[in-house]
Amino acid sequence: MPTDTKRVRGPEVSQSPSLFVAKPAAVLPSHGPRADGRQRDQVDVRPVFVRCGLVSQAKGSAYIEAGNTKLMCCVYGPKETERKDETDMKYGRLTTDMRFAPFSCPERGSWIQGSQDKDLSLMLHESLQPAVCLHKYPRSQIEINVMVLENSGSVLAHAVTCASLALADAGIEMYDLVLGCSIRQDGSSYVVDPSYAEQNNCSSVSSENQGGLTVAFLPSLNQISGLQSDGEMTEETLTAGVRTCIEGCYKLYPVIQQALARAVSNATFPPSES
């Protein structure tokens, strides 16, 4: 019997499509320990792994890993501005570009920069610009590119820290390092450095004090360079959240200092080849 060449033959072993239906997200409890063992209502940040100078083609680079959140940042410049009409004779120009890898989120994304990427790029720019000595680089442009390799929550806060490290690794003059920390307010309870599930989950019955807060902080100068919040929170809750984020930044500061000092020592004294 002749075979039908126009018919698409299905696989020999098939499975029901219902197996691939996304299950509804489980509601996280609003009390007790968190899923990763950290405590609620305490400044309990995830362990951080940081390295500088991993990308040889960039002027400066940094990699940060907090839990399952992984980011890479590269800094290029100072170099001549691309558009002459944007050249400033007294100050340099700082550009930021933050993107998510298609495989970084549970739902696969696109390489094309979306509205969320543009908003995060703008927030990153507003957080870093006050810390960079742009008057030292007139008629120049400094580019900051951040790639989110895996999104497991608090990407903006860790992007600020990673970009600050990359700027320092590139030798860009700064007033101070910029550290980021975020919290998620859920009614009367809050979590510091929330995970992806905690950011997108609301376990409280009441609609009051529901939102997120991200703070960019200059620890040596004790100044806030950027603040981003969403949701509805009272003034007292917002003030307490800012203080909690500042305390979280101070906890990260020694780790960032050690990583930067290690990068400087490796650049000064390269390992000898045996």
Residue appearing with tokens 């008629």: 139
- Please tell me the predicted confidence (pLDDT) of residue 38: 84
* Helices marked H in 63-189: 115-128, 155-169
Q: How many Å separate Cα 198 from the centre of its chain?
A: 16
| E strand or H helix at 219 | none
Closest CA to 38 of 248, 188, 266, 213: 248
Q: What angle do CA 25, 213, 152 make, to 5 degrees?
A: 40
Based on its alpha-carbon atoms, the radius of gyration of the chain, rounded to whole angstroms, reads 22
* Per-residue pLDDT tens digits of the chain, which is 274 residues long: 566 666 666 666 767 666 666 665 555 666 667 877 888 888 889 999 999 999 989 999 999 999 899 999 999 989 888 777 777 788 999 999 999 998 888 777 776 777 888 999 999 999 999 999 999 999 899 999 999 999 998 999 999 999 999 999 999 999 999 999 999 998 888 899 999 888 877 655 556 778 999 999 999 999 999 999 988 888 899 999 999 999 999 999 999 999 999 988 887 665 555 4
Is CATH 3.30.230.70 correct for 41-265?
yes
Residue type present at position 269: F
Beta bridge partners of 148: 71, 100
Q: How far apart are CA 140 and CA 237, in angstroms?
A: 41
In the sheet that 60-66 helps form, which strands lie side by side, from edge to edge? 48-52, 60-66, 69-80, 140-150, 93-100
- Please tell me the predicted confidence (pLDDT) of residue 81: 84
Residue appearing with tokens 């997120």: 212
How many other CB atoms are found less than 10 A from the CB of residue 49? 13
Task: Please say whether the beta carbons of 192 and 80 come within 8 A.
Answer: no
Cα end-to-end span (Å), the chain: 71
| Sign of the CA dihedral with 197 first, then 198, 202, and 207 last | negative
The pTM for the full model equals 0.84
Residue type present at position 213: L
Residue type present at position 198: E
Bridge-based pairing of strands 93-100 and 140-150 is parallel
Instruction: Provide the token pair at 229.
Output: 């919040």
Residues near 176 by beta carbon (within 8 Å), at least 6 away in sequence: 131, 218, 219, 220, 221, 223
Q: What angle do CA 175, 176, 179 make, to 5 degrees?
A: 145
Closest CA to 58 of 173, 167, 175: 167
Residues near 10 by beta carbon (within 8 Å), at least 6 away in sequence: none
Domain extent listing, the chain: 41-265
> Reduced to 3 states, what is the DSSP secondary structure of residue 4?
coil
Q: Phi first, then psi: what are they for 144, rounded to 5°?
A: -120, 120
